[in-house]
Structure 1
Amino acid sequence: MARHFPKAEEGNSTLAFFFLFLYTASVLIRPHEMFLVSVEWIIIKIFIIIAFIATLAAQRPLAMLPQHWMLLALVPLIIMSGFLNGSGMIGVEQSERIFISALFPLFLYSNCITSIKRQHVLMAVCLLAALLMVHNGHVQQTAIAGAGWALDTNSVGYINLGERRITYLGFFNDPNDLGMFFVMNIPFAIYFYKKAAAFNKIIMLGVLAALFYGIYLTGSRGTMLGAGALLAVYFIVMNAGPKLFITIVALAPIAATVIASLQSNIDASADGRLEAWYAGVLMLLANPVFGIGMGQFLEEHGLVAHNSYIHVAGELGVPGYSLWGGALVFTVLTGYLIIRDQINNNKSDESEKVERSTEEANELFLNKTLFFSMMGFMITGFFISRMFTLLLYIYMGMTLASHLRLIKINPAYAAHFTMQIALKSMLYCWTIIVAVYIALKLGL
């Protein structure tokens, strides 16, 4: 793993981080889309290009981690899959999308967030964006035709029957995306609550309440389940042993499939979701090497998979899913291993405890927070197809940045970031697919 951290004179580019901050605010808050005069402006592209150039020019060292290589390897695979499935140009277009929504953001966030202070700034932007979304959604609940204060944002659903599922600007125009974002921000609010003084704790409790209110307003059952499951994951991780945790993780997809099956008896949409999952598995079995081609699930089945894992496996086959799922699982697994080290150290006898510096303790706390944010994606992503949403790679990049800082503080943590564990993660990710397939074959 050490080869991913080249020896070089250190240099933190203030310019790169400044434009990364502007990029983060632009993609999450989307202020330019609130006014007709600026709605067509391409400031998001400008900010990320400047941030990328400044990073290459002045940020040192530059790290390329296994997750970067895994996702980069998807590009030629997507193109090849497209041509083999008769949709070559679609494959090229989809590969370009990977650079814009995944590779560039992941590289920038993992390399530019070189301090906890920088991390706090971006976390605050995330929470501010979430609060604006909740407030806009609250306005949609009472406004005529469900209109929010943000330009051209309207609640969706059967308005005349009282169903008003909130939306926001840009790629947050789907209530499910809003819900996923709110769930991934819950650990951030708890983090700042624990770090805050008395008065600020009250503020953070208000932020946390707003996030749960926002989740309720999305009307997304998958999001609501995700929020509850995230709390369950916290107690499992912090209290269960590794073997019990692994067992629960392996059984979780089956449990989720059971829940979806029970809903299908009374809900046509849930029944359609199960059918889409099974269709995705059949696509994988029929095209195990290259899948049916990225972007073709909707064309083949008529609906998206409503499951990020099944969607990738069906479209990109065994190699593609192993790379995408491996990058995701490796990021979460390493975070979990660091948390287990911390728990075991706390349980050790006083004579065996490892003394940690304040800097290391703070970074460990932040790593735990980012781990649960990533778990928020993994849970909610089981019920919607958001495998290449920008949110995933923003939060994954933040997590990798924390891992890099931990290794810099204490090189012993590098033992959790070996290529061997990365390759195992590419196998572990198949637990989800196998579990869903078993549950579906049992007729659930």
Structure 2
Amino acid sequence: MTAYAVVRPSARETRETALLRVLACATVALAPVEGYLTAVQSQLGKLAPALLVAGWLAVRIRRRQLPCPTPLHAVLALLAVVLAATAAGHAAGPFTAAYTLRWLPFLVVTAVLADVASREVPIRWLLLAAAAGATVAGAGALYSLVAEGEARASGPQPDPNDLAYFLVAAVPLLAALHRRGRGPALTVAGVVLVAGATATFSRGGALGLTAAVGWLLLRRVLPWRVVAAAAVAVAVLGLGAWAFAGPQLDRALQEKSFIAATNVDTRELRWQAAARMLTGHPVLGVGPGGFREHYAAESHNAEVDEQTPVAHNMYLEVAAELGLPGFALFAGVVGTAAVASERTVRRAGPGPARTEAAAIQASLLAVLVTSTFLSEQYYLPLWSLAALAVAAETRIRREGEGSADAGAARDQ
């Protein structure tokens, strides 16, 4: 008979694992409230990701471990190469260096999150951290609307639409966190997230939330009664807000109606300009930040008061700036995450792993729908969700291999 010894981690390894867990959770939790951090110090929001990367690198070197290889890492590496090539080709651009430096940290942090989430950090912890950070941002949104008198809730984000992006991306994650005894807390968080997103008056956010909830219902992760209860709670909260701040909300709706009509026209102009940039520079694009640089010329000064805007469409902006190869790799990040999460849903039996994977899918769907109307490639949810999707598949595959090895050992 063969004896199999259980290898226990040393005290040092335990501390290292705890450190990586804290830093990874802090990275995803603080992303929605980065605006509050930068108000204190301009670089404070970058501290947690920087510490995570540094801590991860130190641990891997000390343990002599290579990153857990996944298709996502290969796609990220190729995207970094294309990014460097297009940045070099447009090095003289006024925004090239700054936007290249905005891209690179997301590629690195995504690779690190995918690695630590497949090894040291439980997926559930990261989902909980993301939902908690977004709930704080949602509370800030409601406070900015009711207490500070803003026409549209913004809270920790300068743009209400960006805030809606964070909030609707976090709503599906609550479905993966349900556990006996946590129901009331998750219900409160869900109401805060949905009410905060509603207070931004973001149409893209509303479409993203609708798509996410529909996906959860389709995958039978979210019961209809929960949706109905949440809708009633948000409606009651809305009626209460109208009773206490009716004139203010009425003014906000009037302003949003006026802005919405203008947004339709300006976004059409920007999308057309991005398409012209892509057709004119299909291989390397116009470079990181190039949309802002070339917009006035490509639109023939269609917006005199806005010379360096964003495209308000993540897909067109990435394609225009990085070219077709860069866009293909960017889409590859999303595609890799989608395939990995679907494999996890199908391989995992009924239980937490399947629920978590379905919630990640729904959240990713909300991100993709919302980004049709916003330029959100410079915010963490898209990247962290891709990392978690791949890490979840790695974990479920490793568990399957472990079960197969254990079965073979028993047979022997």
Q: TM-score range by the shorter chain?
A: 0.7 to 0.9
Compute the displacement of 1:411 (Å).
4.8
Report what 1:312 is aligned to. Answer: 318
Deviations 1:62-108 (A, max 9, x none): 223222222222233223323434636854543333321x1221122
Query: Aligned Cα RMSD in Å?
Result: 3.3
Are 1:387 and 2:391 matched, yes or no? no
- Please state whether the residue corresponding to 2:182 is helix, strand or coil: helix
Using the TM superposition, name which of 59-68 and 299-308 deviates more. Answer: 59-68
1:271-420 alignment runs, 5 A limit: 271-301=265-295, 302=307, 303-339=309-345, 356=349, 361-411=351-401
Compute the displacement of 1:45 (Å).
5.6
Are 1:270 and 2:274 matched, yes or no? no
Compute the displacement of 1:379 (Å).
1.2
Seen in structure 2, the aligned counterparts of structure 1 residues 396 and 264 have a Cα distance that, compared at 3 Å, is farther
Report what 2:89 is aligned to. Answer: 84
Conservation of the 8 A alpha-carbon contact between 2:333 and 2:386 = no
Deviations 1:317-361 (A, max 9, x none): 11010011111122113323443566xxxxxxxxxxxxx5x8xx4
Structure 2 unaligned segments of length 5 or more: list them.
1-7, 222-256, 296-306, 403-412
Conservation of the 8 A alpha-carbon contact between 1:370 and 1:399 = yes
1:147-296 alignment runs, 5 A limit: 155=150, 163-168=151-156, 172-193=157-178, 196-197=179-180, 199-236=181-218, 267-296=261-290
Compute the displacement of 1:402 (Å).
0.8
Whole-Å separation in 2 of the counterparts to 1:17 and 1:404: 18
Report what 2:230 is aligned to. Answer: none
Runs of 4+ in 1 over 6 A off after TM superposition: 9-12, 263-266
Conservation of the 8 A alpha-carbon contact between 1:127 and 1:189 = yes
Report what 2:74 is aligned to. Answer: 69
Count of residues in correspondence between the two structures? 341
Whole-Å separation in 1 of the counterparts to 2:284 and 2:258: 31
Whole-Å separation in 1 of the counterparts to 2:93 and 2:272: 26
Deviations 1:18-62 (A, max 9, x none): 3323434444445983885x6665733652343232342338452
Whole-Å separation in 1 of the counterparts to 2:289 and 2:90: 11
1:105-120 alignment runs, 5 A limit: 105-114=109-118, 118-120=122-124
Deviations 1:283-313 (A, max 9, x none): 2111111111111112222432111111111
Seen in structure 2, the aligned counterparts of structure 1 residues 91 and 31 have a Cα distance that, compared at 3 Å, is closer
Using the TM superposition, name which of 375-384 and 263-272 deviates more. Answer: 263-272
Greater RCO, 1 or 2 (C-alpha within 8 Å, sep 6+): 2
Compute the displacement of 1:233 (Å).
3.1
Sequence identity, in percent?
A: 20
Whole-Å separation in 1 of the counterparts to 2:310 and 2:104: 22
Compute the displacement of 1:384 (Å).
0.4
Residue type at the aligned position of 2:80: V
Whole-Å separation in 2 of the counterparts to 1:121 and 1:83: 39
TM-score, normalised by the number of residues in structure 1: 0.68
